[in-house]
Amino acid sequence: MKSQAAAVTEPDVERKERVKLRWALLRQALLGSASSPPASSHDESIPTDATGVNGGAITGTEYSMNSFQGFGVLDRRILSDKEATAQLWYQKTFNGCTANTKNTDEWSIVHNSYTTNKGKKITFPTREVKQSQQSQSTIQDRVEALLSHRTHGVDNTGNVRVWDAEATLAGFLLSVVFNGTDTVGCNGNGVDNTNLSSLKDNLHSMLTNTGTNEKEETIKNILELGAGQAGLAGLSLAAAFISDNDERDNRLEDRANMNPLHLVLTDGHPKCVSNNTVCAEMMKQASNSLKIDTSLLLWDSSQSGAEACRQLNRLLTNNPVESVEDGQYQLCLASDCVHFQEFHDGLLLTIARALAVNGVALLCQPRRGTSLDNFRTLVNELNASGNGKPLFEVHLFDDFYPKRYDPNWHRPLLLALKKLVVIFN
């Protein structure tokens, strides 16, 4: 008979050590201690940037959830003050922007770019909280962040960083617009996924006005839920619609004839909405025809939530008091929004209330234990259809980042929902 000590496997020991070190990281974050968590016997050098942007200041151990840099779908680079202030869009935005922000906040201007299969570059700026600001915040700031759900009805995670699922969804959308059917869909085993390829084909037709199906409506109204501090996914599509019109891809020859794009960025945290307003102002400097609104929106399954969605739908009309019976958005985006399961019903009903019939919602997030599966169960219970689909083959990361990379927490999955019928509440 094996002894009890022998029954403790190496994975068990490693799991306990990982949990212990993560608690140490949490203690350091709350107390602002300058000291690092205890070193592990497996310690190795890690990137200092947890957001996929150069110049980050987050430090920790290989066991931190934030030590995985992300998939780098977008090239994200922090601009120096000199680079940023030299941009015309920067001068126009910050000379006239009235968005409210705390004076103690420090911001970075991030240059986001995506390169298509044909070498075309799509670029756009965002403003994001400097990671050094996170480590320099006071205990009072940290307590306010922890109690955000009580103060604002929503957590503070959107103000912490831009999560990789947001950048992944942005890259996916840009690949659909500019690469079209050239993109390859794979499941977790690297096998071509015909369902994902079909989704890409349909989205490409809807986004680029090249659909041959008369019933297929061109996407002109886009809603992002839980946009966080930068609204990266929504702004990536805005950038796609206004970028380099003289060098259009053949698939985009009719872009000038497309319906004007109306993008609405929403979040439940007022600080996120405030910074989204700044990001929207920077983007709008590039095009007079681009309309971007920002709005505070909590996911609420009650009648109050239904009225909030009606107001959201009225944003798309010329008459703010016009009666709107059903959703008006052809595309709804959400990144890493299903991790808090107490918000599942509110999120799902918000999507249902905002989407037009035949509209599509794209939710990109890691599995995070049973969270995504439970959300899908809720969808099935409401007689909707949905299926999480991996976007990338990730075995390379499994091989080279055995501790930093955990597919349960880091690999984004795409959940696509298509609204089939009208709802009235």
Residuewise pLDDT in 10s, the chain (425 residues): 444 444 545 556 566 666 666 566 556 555 554 444 333 333 333 233 444 454 443 344 454 555 555 667 888 999 988 898 888 888 888 875 555 444 435 788 999 999 988 888 899 999 998 866 555 566 666 656 665 566 666 777 777 788 888 998 999 899 888 876 554 444 444 334 555 677 777 788 777 765 445 555 567 899 999 999 999 999 999 998 886 443 444 444 444 444 568 999 999 999 999 999 999 999 988 777 788 999 999 999 999 999 999 999 998 876 666 667 789 999 999 999 998 889 999 999 999 999 998 888 888 888 888 888 898 888 877 754 445 543 222 222 233 334 454 566 566 778 888 877 777 55
Q: Which two tokens stand for residue 114?
A: 């995506």
In the chain, the amino acid numbered 139 is: I
Q: Which two tokens stand for residue 247?
A: 């060098």
Q: Which pLDDT belongs to residue 119?
A: 85
Contact predicate 332/351, CB 8 Å: yes
Contact predicate 287/239, CB 8 Å: no
Query: CA dist 307 to 135, 324, 349, Å?
Result: 39, 10, 12
Q: Which pLDDT belongs to residue 194?
A: 55
Q: Which pLDDT belongs to residue 236?
A: 94
CA–CA separation, 191 and 176 (whole Å): 19
Number of neighbouring beta carbons within 10 Å of residue 38: 11
Nearest to 224 by CA among 403, 18, 363: 363
CATH superfamily of 75-418: Vaccinia Virus protein VP39 (3.40.50.150)
CA–CA separation, 309 and 326 (whole Å): 9
DSSP code, position 339: S
Q: Where are the beta strands (DSSP E) in 30-156?
A: 75-78, 107-115, 121-129
Q: Which pLDDT belongs to residue 45?
A: 31
Which helix (DSSP H) or strand (DSSP E) does residue 197 occupy?
A: helix 194-208
In the chain, the amino acid numbered 324 is: V
Domain residue ranges in the chain: 1-42, 75-418
In the chain, the amino acid numbered 22 is: R
Query: CA dist 124 to 112, 129, 261, 279, 285, Å?
Result: 5, 17, 16, 10, 11
